Amino acid sequence: MKQRRGRSGARRVGGALLAALLLASGCAAPDDDAPGATDRAVRAVLDRRAAAVLDHDPAAYLATTDPGATGFRTAQRRELANLADVPLSSWTYRLREMTARGSDRVTAEVELGYRIKGYDAAPVTSDRVIDLRRDRTDGRWYVVGDRAGADRVRPLWQQGEVRVVRGKHSLVLGVGRSARELRAVAATADRAVPAVSRAWPEGWAGRVVVLVPRTTRDMAELLGSAAADYRGIAAVTTGRTGSAHKNPADRVIVNPQAYGTLGPLGRRVVLTHETTHVATRARTSAATPVWLSEGFADRVAYRAEDRTPAQIAPGLARTVRRGDPPAALPTDEDFGFAGDPERLARAYEGGWAACELIADRWGEEKLSAFYRAVGGHAERDGAVREAMREVLGTTPQEFTALWREWLRSRLG
């Protein structure tokens, strides 16, 4: 506990008497090794580190790192340089827990949060583990290690220099990609944003951030996953569903290998689909089945394209023509990236067909209202059943029968 200092003219005997009283009562004056003092010192280091990132100040950033850790300092200097063109509006470290405490070493589990100026209403967060050492000579704490935490995410700026391209409705951040490639992605995203706004009746940010890493492996590291999970997947969207913020912070992450094999139509569909997830994120919750979220996004993506149902859903069309249409709507498990690719394709097609049925039979407004009603439930159990009753005036059993009939009539 910090004691107030007396006036400079106070007699020394007062200090001696206070010390004697503290010792007699079993108390001891706090020192720099107390956990509270260490926590405050570590937070101060992290705050200085965050301020240096926002200011793009290499000297201040390196001042928080161990002077003797030459290799680490070199890597840190490079990492900060990789961020130079990214327009950051905030960068914070929230200390969650201190582990592996010692008199001169601690490990801090922190949450890194950052926002991009003009795009993020809420921070993008990731887990970091930061190791610190106290120098006994000057008593200061220094960072000696900074690595991925529980989510295993390796951010874009750790993968190389981030190139930034600004579109009318988009911001594209890439590593290892040419400016021409990134401008093409921005142009496609700029077309996707107004298409989504026309299809989704609620207001949303009306802009999107797209990340384009060097390889599929780099894409997977941005997601804290294995590369095998995303082979053949052209893009994914990250973000917290059901966010309390009106405009949650989402990222569309492109798989450069799979995206690169697509033609203009495929690229438009992919980025419009992912942008739909950004627009609907605040209305998507744990209660929303994947068939609805993915089916709605696919319907928006194909809405302006001149494609027949059989061209949009070729896998389902084949099963219908064989006389073997699916008996039920796709389950969440059917959408697993690491599973059978044909099963995955049919799952997306089935979700699209379900949303197309709702729009055909009940209308565009009812489709959006149904989406919002399902996402408005706190839990999955009963969410679809109640929303179908309230918004569509039907039951899951009746809807499934209508859906199967729709497949036979449109794809047969």
Q: Which of 281, 298, 315 is the last residue of a domain?
A: 281
Predicted confidence at residue 232, as pLDDT, reads: 87
Residues of the chain with pLDDT under 70: 1-35, 240-248, 338
Give the count of beta carbons closer than 10 Å to the beta carbon of residue 302: 21
One domain for residues 93 and 163: no
One domain for residues 194 and 226: yes
Predicted confidence at residue 36, as pLDDT, reads: 84
Range of the domain at 131: 35-153
Q: Which of 239, 262, 281 is the last residue of a domain?
A: 281
Predicted confidence at residue 304, as pLDDT, reads: 87
One domain for residues 291 and 409: yes
The distance of Cα 190 from the centroid of its chain, to the nearest Å, equals 20
One domain for residues 298 and 411: yes
One domain for residues 135 and 177: no
Is 6 inside a domain boundary? no
One domain for residues 296 and 376: yes
Q: Where residue 105 sits, what CATH number does that domain have?
A: 3.10.450.50
| Number of domains, the chain | 3
Predicted confidence at residue 242, as pLDDT, reads: 52
Predicted confidence at residue 99, as pLDDT, reads: 86
Is 212 inside a domain boundary? yes
One domain for residues 304 and 385: yes
Predicted confidence at residue 247, as pLDDT, reads: 52
One domain for residues 66 and 123: yes
Q: What is the pLDDT of residues 31-84, one digit of tens each?
A: 455 668 899 999 999 999 999 999 999 999 999 999 999 999 999 999 999 999
Backbone angles phi, psi at 105, to 5 degrees: -140, 140
Predicted confidence at residue 61, as pLDDT, reads: 98
Reported pTM: 0.87
Is 390 inside a domain boundary? yes
Instruction: For residues 353 and 24, give the distance between their C-alpha atoms in angstroms, rounded to a whole number.
Output: 80
One domain for residues 342 and 276: no
Predicted confidence at residue 11, as pLDDT, reads: 33
Is 1 inside a domain boundary? no
Q: Which of 234, 264, 281 is the last residue of a domain?
A: 281
The order of strands in the sheet holding 163-166 is: 163-166, 170-174, 208-212, 251-254, 235-238
One domain for residues 97 and 199: no
166 DSSP β-pair partners: 171
